[in-house]
Structure 1
Amino acid sequence: MPAAEKPHLVCPAGSLRALTSAIDAGADAVYLGLKNATNARNFAGLNFDEAQVREGLAYAHARGRQVLMALNTYADARDERPWQQAVDQAAALGADALIVADTAVLAYAHRHHPRLRLHLSVQASATSYEAIEFYRERYGIQRAVLPRVLTLSQVQHVIRHSPVEIEVFGFGSLCVMVEGRCALSSYATGQSPNTAGVCSPPSAVQWMERPEGVEARLNGVLIDRYAPDEPRGYPTLCKGRFEVDGRLDYALEEPTSLNTLALLPQLIAAGVKAIKIEGRQRSPAYVAGVTRVWREAIDQAFSQPRFSPKPAWAQELGRWAEGQQGTLGAFDRPWR
């Protein structure tokens, strides 16, 4: 391949077990969050306290891998101290980089810890090289995670015109919205996913048994109804089924997972620095299974002149995909 270097495989860690599973399966880096509102996957029972971060860092660094800490929610303007303290904590613990969206948090990190690597979170919704350059000039970011709304040609355009490392999502749940700007959940629950850390706050989720099936509600709003034997995913408003013009269907987005295995040669040739797997809210088994496939696929796509995804890879990833379905998402828009 003509690429200068092989892209890093960046995998999710919602727990210490998921972290070790990702490292053992071949991840070059893992990303994690703290057990507080600084983390955009702030689910009960997940994420890391300080002792667990120390243990995870030691495990990763002993094997030559990296740990990236996600401080990717927007700080409360009334009290920014939790985000500032999280930045200080990450620096003291020896995190390899911070993943940040909020300009105030970026400014604090850049000012107080100038040697700490900063990665621009997908939550910042920077979709052009001009936007990325703004963050590089002012806050010294070294990598930007692109939102999942760009075509492959648009990703290539950004890389050609930016000195900043570019990271893209390779596999996992899709977001129908421009990341960082969703208002659906906040409309229904009064809690923004950009600050509360989850699309559907657990306190607002209700499962109700009815004669016609199991209802999923978000703060009382009916967003789906399942047959008794039908698989049920975590309920989010954008992936609910609604009646529109007399037809009941997924009105906004059908449950499916992004899967860009088929585009690996093009992503590598474009100079993508890192490929990210979504899923800090998912199980260690998901992390291990998906990481193993992507480790093998990246290695082969980088080293072999001809690359074709193996059927076994598709079968394994299908086990973990939402609705057991995969899509290239915005990377491939036939109508353009």
Structure 2
Amino acid sequence: MELVCPAGSLPALKQAVDCGADCVYLGFRDATNARNFAGLNFDEKALSEGIGYAHDRGRKVLLALNTYPLPDAWEVWIQAVDRAACHGVDALIVADPGLMQYACDKHPGLRLHLSVQGSATNYDAINFYARHFHIARVVLPRVLSIEQVETVVNNTDVEIEVFGFGSLCVMVEGRCALSSYVTGEAPNNRGVCSPAKAVRWQPTPKGLESRLNGVLIDRYAGHEKASYPTICKGRYEVNGEDYYAIEEPASLNTLELLPRLAATGVSAIKIEGRQRSPAYTAAATRVWREALDSCLRDPAGYRVLPQWTEALARLSEGQQQTLGAYYRSWK
């Protein structure tokens, strides 16, 4: 299994490579990728340097073009495909079928991966993309149980990549409308959930308030750490109670599932977090490199070490970890 790690910047890319990533994934500095935050992502110079750094060390670079083109900005997205191909990326991570067709026609040698934003959750959908667009790998959405992942792997020849660690999303990935409901800008084609221009933190007598386009998302007491406001992970008053009514902040951690995922035939484990710091990338990559090597070396004797769990806990949302849908009881 390959270890696929996030690179929101050139320093993060170098940390990922140095700490043991097999692949890094990144995006351009525009709305063509789903982490379109100011200060993140790659311009032409940084991309060229990053690809050189990774390739010199035998690692791969995957470029995310995983948003859906706006009707009046099609040229922006297809130019991004051309730029990626020109730079020699090892694969494009795409969600929009039109972009897939363009890439197939203009750059037939360019490897394509179906993004989690494509929301392909069954093998018929995956095989459709492989048949029509030569998709080589699919990133599964974080809504499938482990048994469902096994069913998918057993019924397709396409490589399967699953998320191993990082933030969760309660929405069907690629179909979220919450941010656009409040801000008027859809993350699926603007590339960002909760755009920074709509975010405000305001001290009040009741505590520090976070707002999105004026809508109160959360209120923090003095001892609490304030997080970036997203609607799905806000605290709301429901029937007189204040709590995380939609989704409680927690990070996915599948370390204990590694032997089963390996036996299933999963091709790659993905670490979420292009929006996080280079230090996050380094710490997460180190743990997962060590764990993955241990699992592949001796699956029967593999154990999750306490220091791995402790290290990842410090990186987790809300300092909480979960297996998410992998072990859901209502499947």
TM-score (normalizing by structure 1): 0.97
Q: Give the match for residue 292 of structure 2.
A: 298
Q: Give the match for residue 117 of structure 1.
A: 111
Structure 1 stretch displaced more, 185-194 or 223-232: 223-232
CA distance in 2, matches of 1:102, 1:77: 12
- Structure 1 residue 330 and structure 2 residue 295: aligned? no
Q: Give the match for residue 89 of structure 1.
A: 83
Q: Give the match for residue 14 of structure 1.
A: 8
Q: Residue 295 of structure 1: CA displacement? A: 0.3
Structure 1: unaligned runs, 5 residues or longer: 1-6
Structure 2: unaligned runs, 5 residues or longer: none
CA distance in 2, matches of 1:154, 1:45: 38
Q: Which amino acid aligns with 1:145?
A: V
Q: Give the match for residue 258 of structure 2.
A: 264
- Structure 1 residue 320 and structure 2 residue 315: aligned? yes
Q: Which amino acid aligns with 1:85?
A: Q
Q: Which amino acid aligns with 1:177?
A: M
Give the 5 Å matches for 1:11-160.
11-160=5-154
Q: Which amino acid aligns with 1:331?
A: Y
Q: Residue 288 of structure 1: CA displacement? A: 0.2
Tell me the SS of whatever aligns to 2:294. helix
The count of aligned residue pairs is 330
CA distance in 1, matches of 2:296, 2:239: 48
Q: Which amino acid aligns with 2:228?
A: Y
Q: Which amino acid aligns with 1:334?
A: S
Q: Which amino acid aligns with 1:309?
A: V
Q: Residue 270 of structure 1: CA displacement? A: 0.4
Q: Residue 79 of structure 1: CA displacement? A: 2.4
Deviations along 1:202-246, one digit per CA (max 9) or x if unpaired, are: 011111110010111110111100012211111100000001111
Give the 5 Å matches for 1:169-208.
169-208=163-202
Tell me the SS of whatever aligns to 2:314. helix
Deviations along 1:55-111, one digit per CA (max 9) or x if unpaired, are: 000000000000000000100112211111111111111000000001111110011
- Structure 1 residue 273 and structure 2 residue 250: aligned? no
Q: Give the match for residue 304 of structure 2.
A: 309
Q: Residue 121 of structure 1: CA displacement? A: 0.3
Tell me the SS of whatever aligns to 2:82. helix
Select 2:236's aligned residue among 242, 248, 261: 242
Tell me the SS of whatever aligns to 1:150. coil
Q: Give the match for residue 233 of structure 1.
A: 227
Q: Give the match for residue 248 of structure 2.
A: 254
Q: Give the root-mean-square deviation of aligned CA atoms.
A: 0.7
CA distance in 1, matches of 2:141, 2:118: 8
CA distance in 2, matches of 1:102, 1:293: 33
Q: Which amino acid aligns with 1:255?
A: P
Q: Which amino acid aligns with 2:35?
A: R
Q: Residue 335 of structure 1: CA displacement? A: 4.1
Deviations along 1:99-148, one digit per CA (max 9) or x if unpaired, are: 00011111100110010000000000000000011111111100000000
Q: Which amino acid aligns with 1:59?
A: Y
Q: Residue 249 of structure 1: CA displacement? A: 0.3
Deviations along 1:177-199, one digit per CA (max 9) or x if unpaired, are: 01000011100000001111111
Q: Which amino acid aligns with 1:314?
A: T
Deviations along 1:281-315, one digit per CA (max 9) or x if unpaired, are: 00000000000000000111111122110000000
Tell me the SS of whatever aligns to 1:314. helix
Q: Residue 333 of structure 1: CA displacement? A: 1.1
Percent identity, aligned pairs only, is 63
Tell me the SS of whatever aligns to 1:68. strand
Q: Which amino acid aligns with 2:192?
A: V
CA distance in 1, matches of 2:275, 2:67: 16
